[in-house]
C-alpha cells in the first residue's frame, strides 16, 4: 500500500520497527523508530506507548517495564536505551 504526501510524492507503507537484539543494533533500531515516528507525525505523548510495543526482545521488554515509571520522554528513553 502507498500513501501520497504533499507535493505528490508517493511513499510506501511504513512497517512498524521492532527491536530484537539478535537481529539489529540498538543504534539502527532507534534510527528506524525515529524515522517512523517522524513520518507518522506521532504525538509526543504516544511515543513511549509505541516504544513498549516495539520492544519484542524479552530482555529489552523487561528492562523497559522495570524503568518506564522513571522515564518522562521519548528523548530520555533514547538516552537510557
b vs e for 36-51, b when ≥16 Cβ sit within 10 Å of the residue's Cβ? bbeeeeeeeeebbebb
* pLDDT above 70 as % of the chain: 84
* pLDDT above 90 as % of the chain: 75
Q: Is the pLDDT of residue 6 over 80?
A: no
Q: State the Cα–Cα distance between residues 51 and 47, nearest whole angstrom.
A: 6
Q: Residue 20 — very low, low, confident or very high, per pLDDT cuts 50/70/90? A: confident
pTM comes to 0.80
Q: Is the pLDDT of residue 48 over 60?
A: yes
DSSP secondary structure, 13-64, as one string: PPPPP-B-TTTS-HHHHHHHHHHHHHHTT--HHHHHHHHHHHB-SHHHHHHH
Average pLDDT over residues 44-56: 96
Average pLDDT over residues 63-70: 96
Amino acid at each position: 500500500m502507498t500513501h501520497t504526501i504533499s507535493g505528490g510524492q508517493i511513499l510506501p507503507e511504513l512497517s512498524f520497527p521492532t527491536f530484537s537484539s539478535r537481529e539489529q543494533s540498538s543504534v539502527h533500531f532507534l534510527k528506524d523508530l525515529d524515522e517512523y515516528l517522524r513520518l507518522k507525525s506521532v504525538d509526543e505523548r504516544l511515543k513511549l506507548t509505541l516504544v513498549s510495543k516495539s520492544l519484542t526482545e524479552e530482555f529489552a521488554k523487561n528492562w523497559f517495564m522495570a524503568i518506564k515509571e522513571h522515564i518522562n520522554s521519548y528523548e530520555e528513553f533514547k538516552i537510557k536505551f
